[in-house]
Each structure stands twice: as C-alpha cells, then as structure tokens.
Amino acid sequence: MPAKIYKVTLTKEERANFTALVSKGQANARRIKRAQILLLADDNQPEGSWKDADIAKALGVHGRTVERTRETCVLEGVEATLNHTRPQKSRAKVMDGAAEARLAQLACTEAPDGHERWSLQMLADKLIELEVVETVSRETVRTTLKKMNSSLG
C-alpha cells in the first residue's frame, strides 16, 4: 500500500470540537461523517492514525471518500472539509449573442430539402458549417432555443 500523501494533523482544539460534534450528533450526517474520518485519520492522536481501509470499514464509507476527505483537509483546511461544497463548474460560453442570433435566424428558415423541419443536430451541424461556431452540441442548441422561447415546430 502506498504511503499517505496527505497527512491530517489536528490541533487539540480541533480534536475537541470534532469530538463534541460527533458525540452530540446534532449536525448534518455528512458533516459528522467527515469529522469522524478526520478524527481517525489524525496523526497527532496518541494511538496514531488509522489506515484508510480500516477507517472506511469502521465508518461504512468507501476508501476513496477517506482519501478525498484527507486531501481536502490538507489542501483547503478543516472548515472546507466539514462544509464540503462542490466546486462550481464554470465554462466559457460556446455561443455568444451573435451566434445565438444566427441560430434563431437559421431556425426560422425553411428546412433543408428532404426534411419537414430542422432537427437540433442539423442546426448544430449548419452552425459549424457556416463557421458561426467552432463546435457546438445538439444540447447547447436546444438550451439556447429554449432560453429564447423558440421552437422548431
């Protein structure tokens, strides 16, 4: 088994706070479970830290949960670990206002020969063909049209 990369070392005050949190049982279950993981993973405890597999088995969690909890504690701090918030996904918009306008314009035109109406995939392909955007998914076309309260019918 590889050596632990992220070693949790709690202060006496943090240990006391976590012990109180766990024993009261008044907090969110996820918060209590993370506190239990940190207490058992603490290198400063008198009996030494537990192995991840033993912590996982004792608390009924996956071993990866123990690893991630330790990692978050070391990299982001104790509070970030207990208040576990998922990172916000932020991506650059694929379609700007001009591309959205071109999509709306295109959706209002006659469908290509052999088709009764535009499909989302045909619109996506046409936007790429016209070099309005470099790449775009069918789902992006759908959400953009929905945002504009537009439909293909």
pLDDT digits (tens, 9 = 90+) for 48-89: 778 889 999 999 999 999 999 989 888 888 888 888 766 667
- From first CA to last CA, the distance across the chain in angstroms is 60
Using only C-alpha atoms, the chain has a radius of gyration, in whole angstroms, of: 26
Indicate the SS3 state at residue 42.
strand
Backbone phi, psi, residue 8, to 5°: -85, 130
**Closest Cα to residue 6, out of 49, 54, 56?**
49
**Per the confidence metrics, is the pTM higher than 0.85?**
no
* Residue-level pLDDT at 1: 47
DSSP 43: T
Residues 12, 45 contacting (CB under 8 angstroms)? no
